Amino acid sequence: MEREQRIKIAVQKSGRLADNSLELLKRCGLNYSRGTDQLICFGENMPVDVLLVRDDDIPSLLAEGVCELGIVGLNVLLEKAAEGPGLTEPTELGSLDFGHCRLSIAVPRGTTYRGTESLAGKRIATSYPRILATWLSERGIEAEIVVLSGAVEIAPRLGRADLICDLVSTGSTLAANDLEEVDLVLDSRAVLVAGERPADSLRAEWVDRLVSRVDGVLRVRESKYIMLHAPRAALDEIRDLLPGSEAPTVMPLDGMDDKVAVHAVCQENVFWETLESLKRAGASSVLVLPVEKMLA
Ligand code: PRP
Ligand code: ZN
């Protein structure tokens, strides 16, 4: 395959999203070898290469057409989008199931916080000045935004700010710096993002394939295949108990007229409670299997 016909997907090189992003691509069937400079992984079985970059650079790489797809935090995407239009606006294709974190307001422990009004006239350190400015103006609050590109959490101790607006995931960074989370600005997670659609149809097709595989991987992670025996008389009740399944397959059981076999794909996790309810409704021989692959 010629170089030009390959597509590129940008993911975070190291940090919160890095491992999960590469893992997701592997689950999409991509085998890659890591280049010597470790900045690009060449796909071996698909014309797809992975760029390992700083997450903050991903929106621009998409806007400039350097890559066709990217995995980035919603926080980074929105902050960059608020900078104004690039060559093309990256399109968010959907949320992924990792990278959950909050962009939050945090104050030095012991500071009284009585809602957003408490922010009026304060100096707030952040790496997300645009998201924060929008959030403040929507609430009619005027405050000074101190833009820092890193180490935001130490700004109050250094006297550079009164409080901060930063990402919180486990909360350990805040705790280590004696800060307390008091308000939510943005609920964030990793999202799949696309740049401009390739004009070349082969490449466009690979973008679509990858997007649909990502979708398949996400569905599969939640999905279970469930098999059970049900008394014919309890079929309706049992069907209603199967979580997130559309139309279960009902099959006769050899030599049993009063029972049928029910097979269904549940698009949600199947919990022990569900199995217990199924049993109470008369189900027997209940098996729950993980789903390996799924194509809608
Ligand atoms: C964020 C934030 C904190 C940390 C919070 O940085 O700036 O330092 O994560 O996480 P915790 O609640 O689990 O302690 P991030 O790793 O996103 O780095 P970046 O902003 O430089 O990409
Ligand atoms: Zn970053």
Joined tokens for residue 175: 């705790």
Query: In Å, how far are 72, 82, 104, 163, 191 from 75, measured between CA atoms?
Result: 8, 11, 11, 19, 10
CATH number for the domain that contains residue 241:
3.30.70.120
- Answer for the pair 68, 203: CB distance below 8 angstroms, yes or no: yes
Q: Which of 169, 179, 187, 189 to mutate to test the pocket of ligand 1 (most atoms within 8 A of CB)?
A: 169
Does ligand 1 come within 6 angstroms of the Cβ of 167? yes
| Mean pLDDT of the region 217-226 | 89
The Cα 113–Cα 183 span in angstroms is: 9
Q: Is residue 180 part of a domain?
A: yes
pLDDT at 175: 97
Strands 48-53 and 144-147: unpaired
Any atom of ligand 1 within 6 Å of the Cβ of 55: yes
Closest Cα to atom 20 of ligand 1: 150
Residue 296 located in a structural domain: no
With a cut of 90, say whether residue 237 has pLDDT above it: yes
Show contacts of 140-149: CB within 8 Å, 24+ apart: 141/116, 141/117, 143/119
What pLDDT sits at residue 268?
79
pLDDT tens sequence across 250-268: 999 999 999 999 999 988 7
Mean pLDDT across the stretch 26-35?
88
Q: Are residues 7 and 91 in the same domain?
A: yes
Range of the domain at 60: 3-99+190-219
Mean pLDDT of 223-244: 92
Ligand approaching nearest to the C-alpha of 53: 2
pLDDT of residue 36: 66
Sign of the CA dihedral with 170 first, then 73, 214, and 26 last? negative
Tokens of 38: 């470790």
CB of residue 155 inside a 6 A radius of ligand 1: no
Q: What span, in angstroms and rounded, lies between the C-alpha atoms of 26 and 18?
A: 13
Q: Residue 107 domain-assigned?
A: yes
Among 127, 173, 174, 177, residue to substitute to test ligand 1 (most atoms within 8 Å of Cβ): 173
pLDDT in tens, 197-206: 999 999 999 9
Q: Which ligand has an atom closest to residue 149 CA? A: 1
DSSP string, 182-235: EEEEEEE-EEEEE-SPPSSHHHHHHHHHHHHHHHHHHHHHH-EEEEEEEEGGGH
| Helix/strand/coil for 126 | strand
217 lines ligand 1 (CB under 6 A): no
Is 295 inside any structural domain?
no
Which ligand is in closest contact with the Cα of 126? 1
- CA–chain centroid gap for 72, Å, is 8
Give the C-alpha separation, 286 to 270, whole Å: 12
The whole model's pTM is what?
A: 0.83
* Nearest partner of 104 among 157, 153, 177, judged by Cα: 153
Cβ neighbours of residue 139 under 8 Å, at least 6 residues apart?
Answer: 116
Residues, CB-to-ion distance under 5 Å, ligand 2: 55-56
Distance 8 CA to ligand 2 centre (A): 20
| CATH number of the domain where residue 214 is located | 3.40.190.10
Give the mean pLDDT of the chain. 92
Residue 154 counted as domain residue = yes
Q: How many domains does the chain have?
A: 3
For residue 150, the ligand 1 atom closest to its alpha carbon is: 21
Question: Residues 93, 8: one domain?
Answer: yes
**What's the token pair of residue 104?**
């939050």
Ligand nearest to the CA of 166: 1
* pLDDT for the residue numbered 35: 66
pLDDT, tens digit (0-9, with 9 covering 90-100), for 63-83: 999 999 999 999 999 999 888
